[in-house]
Amino acid sequence: MLDVTLIVLCAGNSSRFEHKTKKQWIRIENIPLWLSVTKRLASFSQFDKIIVASHEDELNYMKNFTDDFTFVKGGQTRQKSILNCLEFVTTKYVMISDVARACIPQSVIKNLLDEKENADCIVPVLNVTDTVIYETTTINRDEVKLIQTPQLSLTKTLKNALNTQIEFTDESSAIKAINGTIKYIQGSIESKKLTLGNELDELPLKSPSNNFFTGTGFDIHAFEDNKEMFLGGVKLPYEYGFKAHSDGDVLIHSIIDALLGACGAGDIGEFFPDTDEKYKGIDSKLLLEHIVRFIYNVGYEIVNIDTTIIAQKPKINPFKHEIKSSLAALMNIEKQFINVKATTAEKMGFIGRAEGVAVQSIATLKYYNWKQK
């Protein structure tokens, strides 16, 4: 038995990445980077367990990709994400890597495992071959090391080391601070960390596939007295509003479901439960903005939206352009890629009796092409 758990940290915000998509979600052909990196590391040894630290907004979505790993909610910092994952570690040793190091070679994993009994923390490092200046003084480059991941630690020691208010940027610094033993081994240039967007050019990663993804959405709401009516984020001059937990913008809700359908992320209720007081009376524009951010974060771009409003009343035609402009701004796409159709129900059924409105939508997405930023 190896007695080692592998943790892959994928819960960051990619705030320095400068792309629309988070680095852990860029597609390598059809596979998100986090899955490709985790599978690759997993294939290098017989780890007892594999844990993926996920951003809280993406944890449920990640679970759609595989049943092979344990997904754990990350924290505000790298260290907090590690602490959350350590709750699920029962092995003597734990190997922790950054998703941001996408091309770690197998030899590094083997060398770490070979050394596992020789210190509290085994760390791959690169020596510095350039002249190094600290402020204005040239310092001895032989005393400078570039610290990489994965690092292999004794689980118990790491838990003790991280149980502090001090934020460390890696495990070895935390273990060193409690006088633990550290063994440095040779790292690899291939383990380079992806931090800034333009560093993608330096990595041998395949382009995303050209696939398109389609999703449908449907929603229906009854009219209600003493409420304002919103459709597509536009206030319509009508005598009723919509009965709903939120502001009842049935058009936005239907578009949200179409977007979520296209990227395989469930439905609106999974993101904004109608049992949650936080969403009572909420402006649906905020919900759409949240979903659009999610869509971009997890690696997609919106191609177009087509939608049909089924309403006996009110008349939609005079407001179509205003609705399209509003939706275009909310989705950060050009107005020409949004189509709004309206039809009556020919006076049949509850819509025909003007008791409410239904909307059907379809959304098309494609992968964000990080190669053509």
Ligand X SMILES: Nc1ccn([C@@H]2O[C@H](COP(=O)(O)OP(=O)(O)OP(=O)(O)O)[C@@H](O)[C@H]2O)c(=O)n1
Ligand Y SMILES: C[C@](O)(CO)[C@H](O)COP(=O)(O)O
Interface residues toward ligand Y, by CB under 6 A: 78, 98, 147-149, 169-170, 193
Q: Examine residue 109 and tell whether it contacts ligand X (CB under 6 A).
A: no
Q: Is there a binding annotation on residue 344?
A: yes
Instruction: Report DSSP state, residue 142.
Output: G
Specify the residue, 170 or 247, whose C-beta has the smaller distance to ligand Y: 170
Q: Which of residues 326-355 bind ligand X (CB under 6 A)?
A: none
Q: Examine residue 293 and tell whether it contacts ligand X (CB under 6 A).
A: no
| Residue 373, number of CB atoms within 10 A of its CB | 13
Q: Which helix (H) or strand (E) holds 308?
A: strand 300-310
Q: Is there a binding annotation on residue 216?
A: no
Q: Examine residue 53 and tell whether it contacts ligand X (CB under 6 A).
A: yes
Integer Cα distance of 362 and 260 in angstroms = 10
Closest distance to ligand X from the beta carbon of 97 (Å): 8
Query: Helix, strand or coil for residue 149?
Result: coil
Q: Is there a binding annotation on residue 19?
A: no
Integer Cα distance of 307 and 323 in angstroms = 11
| Interacting span for ligand X (CB under 6 A) from 76-84, 130-138, 293-301, 313-321 | 76-84
> By the 8 A CB rule, do 351 and 345 touch?
yes
Q: Is there a binding annotation on residue 350?
A: yes
Q: Is there a binding annotation on residue 199?
A: no
Choose the contact partner of 147 out of ligand X, ligand Y, none; CB within 5 to 8 A by kind. ligand Y
Q: Examine residue 171 and tell whether it contacts ligand X (CB under 6 A).
A: no
Closest distance to ligand X from the beta carbon of 158 (Å): 15
Specify the residue, 299 or 314, whose C-beta has the smaller distance to ligand X: 299
Q: Is there a binding annotation on residue 67?
A: no
Closest distance to ligand X from the beta carbon of 12 (Å): 2
Closest distance to ligand X from the beta carbon of 85 (Å): 9
> By the 8 A CB rule, do 119 and 179 touch?
no
Integer Cα distance of 20 and 319 in angstroms = 31
Query: Helix, strand or coil for residue 191?
Result: helix
Specify the residue, 191 or 312, whose C-beta has the smaller distance to ligand X: 191
DSSP string, 292-305: HHHHHHTTEEEEEE
Q: Which one of residues 4, 6, 7, 10 is an interface residue with ligand X (CB under 6 A)?
A: 10
Specify the residue, 98 or 249, whose C-beta has the smaller distance to ligand Y: 98
The neighbouring-strand residues paired with 236 are 229
Within the chain, residue ranges assigned H as helices are 33-43, 59-62, 78-86, 106-114, 155-162, 171-177, 250-262, 268-271, 284-297, 320-331, 349-352
Integer Cα distance of 102 and 83 in angstroms = 22
Closest distance to ligand Y from the beta carbon of 213 (Å): 31
For the chain, the straight-line distance linking the first and the last C-alpha, in angstroms and rounded, comes to 45
Closest distance to ligand Y from the beta carbon of 39 (Å): 20
Q: Which one of residues 26, 62, 74, 272 is an interface residue with ligand X (CB under 6 A)?
A: 74
Only one residue has tokens 């949200």, namely 256
Integer Cα distance of 158 and 204 in angstroms = 33
Choose the contact partner of 19 out of ligand Y, ligand X, none; CB within 5 to 8 A by kind. none
Only one residue has tokens 């601070």, namely 177
Positions at the binding site for a divalent metal cation: 219, 221, 253
Positions at the binding site: 219-221, 245-246, 253, 267-269, 272-276, 343-346, 350, 353
Contacts with ligand X, residue ranges (CB under 6 A): 9-17, 24, 53, 74-78, 81, 98-100, 193, 195
